[in-house]
């Protein structure tokens, strides 16, 4: 698995661009999937290409929780760091995300320092 390539699953172009620019400034390579189906296709095509996945919880069709559940059910991706991001933050949603299988959770707008530090923790 490459050390620093991150898949960003985000349907909002501005949100994806913000995360992409933040990660690029930290020396990470990125790829963006605009929905869960595109993410799944990218992961199936190159299963060793990513070190972590940042997933927006409010994706169209298959939401972030469904994508996380699918990935956690795969032997290949079960241990991959999955980081939830959302604009619809509540304390209950944070608890649900962490208890259901995400490794970290960040409300939008992102605390960029905490987000980058958390990602570095999972990659090192």
Give the pLDDT confidence score for residue 78 in this predicted structure.
95
- Tell me the residue range of the domain where 109 lies: 5-123
pLDDT for 3 = 46
Residue 31 in tokens: 């790829």
The CA–CA distances, whole Å, from 37 to 2, 11, 26, 69, 102 equal 22, 11, 27, 14, 19
For the segment 90-120, what is each residue's pLDDT rounded down to a tens digit?
999 999 999 999 999 999 999 999 999 999 9
Res. 2: pLDDT tops 70: no
Helix 64-72 / helix 36-45 crossing angle, nearest 10 deg: 30
For residue 14, pLDDT beyond 50: yes
pTM (2 d.p.): 0.95
For tokens 């996380």, what's the residue? 68
Asked if the model's pLDDT at residue 5 lies above 50, the reply is: yes
Q: 2-6, 81-85, 87-91: which range is least confident on average?
A: 2-6
**Residue 1, pLDDT score:** 41
Distance CA 81, CA 101 (A): 10
We report the CATH number of the domain holding residue 111 as 3.40.50.2300
| Total domains in the fold of the chain | 1
Tell me what pLDDT residue 124 has: 85
**Which pLDDT score is estimated for 30?**
97
């Amino acid at each position: 698995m490459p050390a620093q390539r991150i898949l960003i699953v985000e349907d909002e172009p501005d949100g994806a661009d913000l995360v992409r620019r933040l990660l690029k400034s930290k020396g990470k390579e990125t790829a963006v999937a605009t929905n869960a189906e595109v993410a799944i296709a990218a992961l199936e095509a190159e299963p060793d290409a990513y070190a972590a996945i940042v997933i927006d919880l409010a994706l169209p069709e298959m939401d972030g929780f469904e994508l996380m559940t699918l990935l956690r059910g795969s032997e290949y991706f079960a241990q991959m760091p999955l980081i939830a991001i959302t604009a619809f933050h509540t304390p209950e949603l944070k608890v649900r995300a962490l208890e259901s299988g995400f490794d970290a959770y960040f409300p939008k707008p992102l605390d960029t320092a905490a987000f980058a530090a958390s990602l570095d923790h999972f990659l090192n």
